[in-house]
């Protein structure tokens, strides 16, 4: 399962298209970049550059 941290923004759309075209299992975790969620410590732990998108691949289970 892929966790896709994203938001409807140009670079987010690229990742949304990729996972849809690959047909892989994923879930979207919204990171509201309009309210500054990309700068929260919990998200910085996932992507230190504070931008979306980011992917966490939990592998096959």
Residue ranges in contact with ligand GSH by CB under 6 A: 9-11, 33, 38, 49-52
What does the alpha-carbon distance between residue 14 and residue 4 come to, in Å, rounded to a whole number? 11
**Residue 38 CB, nearest approach to ligand GSH (Å):** 5
What does the alpha-carbon distance between residue 26 and residue 1 come to, in Å, rounded to a whole number? 5
Between 5 and 60, name the residue whose CB sits nearer to ligand GSH: 5
Q: With beta carbons less than 8 A apart as the criterion, state whether 11 and 53 touch.
A: yes
Between 11 and 61, name the residue whose CB sits nearer to ligand GSH: 11
**Residue 52 CB, nearest approach to ligand GSH (Å):** 4
């Amino acid at each position: 399962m892929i966790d896709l941290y994203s938001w409807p923004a140009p670079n987010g759309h690229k990742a949304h298209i990729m996972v849809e075209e690959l047909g892989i299992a994923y879930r979207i975790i919204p990171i509201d970049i309009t309210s500054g969620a990309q700068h929260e410590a919990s998200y910085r732990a996932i992507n230190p550059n504070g931008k979306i998108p980011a992917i966490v691949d939990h592998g096959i289970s």
